[in-house]
Amino acid sequence: MATIIEASAPAVTSDSQNTEEHWNNWPNAKGFDPEYEERTPVELSVTGRIPAYAAGTLYRTGPGKSHVETEGGQTFQVSHWFDGFSQTHRFQILDSGESEPPRVLYNSRYSTDELIEHVRKTGSLGGLSFGQKRDPCKTVFNKVQSDYIPPSGPSFKNIGVTLSVNMPGLDVQPDGQSTERWGTSQGIRTLYAKTDYSGFKKLDPETLEPIGLATQESLHPDLIGRLAASHPRSDPRTGDMFNFNLELGSTCTYRVFGVSASTGKTTILATFPGIPAYLHSLLITEDYVLLCVWNSHVNPIALADQSFMDAILPTDPSKPATWYVVDRKHGKGLVATYESPAFFCFHTINSWQEPSKEDPTKTDIVADLVRMDNTEFISSLLYDNIVSSRSSAKEFAAKRGDALCSTITRFRLPGLPSSPNSDILKATVEWSACKSFSPELPTMNPKIVTQKHRYVYSTTFRGEATLTDGILKFDCETQETRLWAHHGHSPGEAIFVANPDGIDEDDGVLLSVVLDGLAGNSYLLCLDARDLSELGRANVKRAVAFGFHGQHVPFVGMPTGDY
């Protein structure tokens, strides 16, 4: 059993916890539709103290506004949180010296101005969306509009799920040497937004203005598929990046590839047929790329006239999840294929190699991720289900059951073959934990990626709110948990920033953007990663949109990647 240790947080009154109007006392609507961007950096008031080693830039991205007033006098409402008009945020944490606490500057920018204008004119997102129902009347109407040409610039593309600082392979000098690793005081040369298809949006690292578009095909001409992982993986020592490309067709083809951070060269590591699926993330070990095709299988034919969400087939528990192990160093291609019981996942955590439990002369791969039994959580993120001011959200939250709960789960892929093997091997579940917290948006110390880790951090979906309701620290060795929670406050993904002088894995701080739903404004929260005690916060005068993911770039140290 896990031990729950409440971290220090402002007091919660019993009246607000027990009232029948619970959801009215945890308002979050401003986090889903803020009419707020700050194009010129403003200084935030800081309370407490943010450690000097956290100085640097924290980027955040995700949906901004979710509705548009159209020329026809109607209000266009986005249906699913993943389709909200993307917005990028930048917190600069400036070291003021030993005698003064760090200063914090904030700026933000919508990155979909052209798309918003398109919706204002047409009343439709147009094209394939994640969860928006297609209106055939609007589609026909758009086709006959001879006086309107849809825009095609970078701010027309709604790309804003994850961010890559200095992503290798793009913006390469004529001599072939990559230019994106260093060049400014922070080493920030490029900033790209990514999503679950193979396109990238280039943003100005300071103003956050959309300035360009690229695709995986820009990395390698064979990467012609439409689908990819929003979360590629980067080697923390070399900066090399790994991802997959999925080409849909009568036979669906996966291409797993790597991009060298030192040369910018992209190499196709393995090509193989497989069941098409919605795969938001993948894993790497010291020697392998681990691609798990879990049970979010996609019907490619349905993409012609349905949203992407509607093309995802219901989880079939009789069909196993398939794990592909691809060599990333020695050109061996697809080394092994494993199967495990069916499950669904958004976010992986980490994987590593270790001597096999059964035969120490062989190698096992161990993989941690956030597991769900099915894909129902996807539809739970419709705005009608998560915006607390809507009666539908309160009704949905009241009947939310275990089917939507997630766990931190450890898988083992035993006895990895030393050379490519066509046999189907069996992956096993070692343990699952934290179901009562329903963790999501997991993070860890990025320096430990590809090594055995001990600590995982995540937001919690305990049912106290219609979205996030706490920050969790989980000890994988003792199975103990520690929780930071404050009634009415909804935190975002907690980004780990390591103490460069630290010895232990959890020596560092967590940075999270939190909405104070009761006050109607947000703040940048800094927690001690060891015990989740609050060290400081930087207060924004208005509500910052709930984001998905972020990247912290320190003023000194190695370039960051996707972990």
Residue numbers in the known binding site for Fe cation are 231, 280, 347, 549
| Terminal CA-CA length for the chain | 29
Q: How many residues does the chain have?
A: 563
Q: Report the SS3 class of residue 83.
A: helix
- Containing H/E element for 443? strand 439-443
CA angle 527, 531, 535 (to 5 degrees): 30
Q: How many helices (H) and strands (E) does the chain have?
A: 7, 34
Structure-token pair, residue 496 = 């780990």
Point out the annotated binding site: 231, 280, 347, 549
Measure Cα distances from 33 to 84, 224, 240, 311, 515 in Å. 9, 35, 37, 27, 12
Cβ pair 300, 311 in contact under 8 A: yes
> What gap in Å lies between CA 481 and CA 100, rounded to an integer?
34
Q: Exposed/middle/buried for 219, CB within 10 Å: 0-12, 13-18, 19+? A: buried
- Other CB atoms within 10 Å distance of the CB of residue 136: 8
> What gap in Å lies between CA 176 and CA 354, rounded to an integer?
36
Structure-token pair, residue 188 = 């920030």
Hey, which residues does 484 pair with through a beta bridge? Answer: 471
Please give the single-letter amino acid code of residue 229: A
Q: Which residue has the tokens 């930071």?
A: 484
DSSP string, 265-314: -EEEEEEEE---B---B-EE-SSEEEEEE-S-BB-GGGGGTS-HHHHBPP
> What gap in Å lies between CA 283 and CA 219, rounded to an integer?
20
Q: Please name the residues in contact with 246: beta carbons below 8 A apart, sequence gap of 6 or more.
A: 225, 226, 227, 228, 252, 253, 254, 255, 276, 279
